[in-house]
Structure 1
Amino acid sequence: MTGANQQDRFRQKGWVGLRARLFHFYFVLRRPMTLGVRGLVYDKTRRAVFLIRHTYVPGWQLPGGGVETGETMLEALEREVQEEGNIALTAPPQLQSIHFNRQASPRDHVAFYLIEAFSQNAPKLPDHEIAESGFFPLDALPEATTPATLRRIAEVFDGVAPSPYW
C-alpha cells in the first residue's frame, strides 16, 4: 500500500470528516498558535556561533523565523538560515528544545535546533532585513546579544538546564 493510500485509509469521510474539519477550523480561530524556529549555527574549529542583527528589532540573535503554512519546521529552518546567513545545512540539525515565547504572544512557540554541519558560500551582506551578521567566539559575543540568545548558548555549552521559556 502506498503512502497516499495508507493516509486515505485513516482519513475521516462523510459527516464525521466534515465535523472533524469544522472542529479544527473552530480551534484555529479560537486558539491560533504560531510556531517559529531558531538555529544555533556552531563552528567547532573556531568555537564560534553565528548571530544576526535585524534592521527592525534591537540586539544580536540566532537566525530563524516563523514556520509558514504548509512548511515543516526543518524546511523553515533551512530557509531562514539561508536567507539570513547564506548558510546551507549539510547534515540534519539536532532539535534541542522547544520553548514558549510568551513575549511574542500567549500562543507562540520556538523550536530550537543545533546546527553543526553547514556551509557558507559567502558572508551575508546587509539588506532590508539583516543589518549585520557574523560568527562570534563564545568568549567574545556582542554586548547587545539578546537574553534569549544568551540562555540558549548557556544551555548548549555550559550545561544550564533548558528553560521552558524563550
Structure 2
Amino acid sequence: MSQHARWRRLAGLGARFLTVGAVSTLIEIAVFNLLVFAFDVDLVMAKIVASLVALVNAYLGNREWTFRDRGGHSRGVELTLFVIVNAACTALGALIVWAGVAVATLLLGREAGPVAVNAVNLGSIAIVVLVRFLLYHFVVFRGARRPKPGATADAT
C-alpha cells in the first residue's frame, strides 16, 4: 500500500471516529449538564456518569462503523479492552475536570461558573479523544478482523 493510500485510509478512519465521537460528545455534554445543573450532582460523579452513558454509543459506532474491518481479538477480549481503555479515559477526563475547575476557581477568585466548568469539560474531552483514538487503533480494534468460519477470502 502506498504512503498516499495509507494516509487516505487513516483520514477516512479518523473522520468516522470523529463523527462517532461528536455524537458521543453531545450525549456526554447533555448528560453532564443535566446532572450538574438540574440535579446538583457532584462534578466528578457527573463526569463519570456522563462518560459512561456516552460509551454505549461510542462502542456500537466504532465497532460497527469506524473499525468494522479491524479487530483481530475475539469479541469478549475486544469488549474487555474497550471497557479498560474507557475506564482509564474516563478517569483521565474526571481528573482533568477536577484539576481544571480547581485552577479556574483559583484564577477567578470565586467558584467557577457554568462557562468555566464547560470550558474545562470541553478541554478534557479534546485531550481524551486523542488518547482514546490512539488506544482504539493500536490496542482495542488492532489488526484485521478474522473471517467468519466458512467464509472465503475475496479475490479482489
Asked whether the two chains share a fold, i.e. TM above 0.5, the reply is: no
The normalised TM-score by structure 1 is 0.25
Query: Which structure has the highest helix share of the two?
Result: 2
Query: Which structure has the highest strand share of the two?
Result: 1
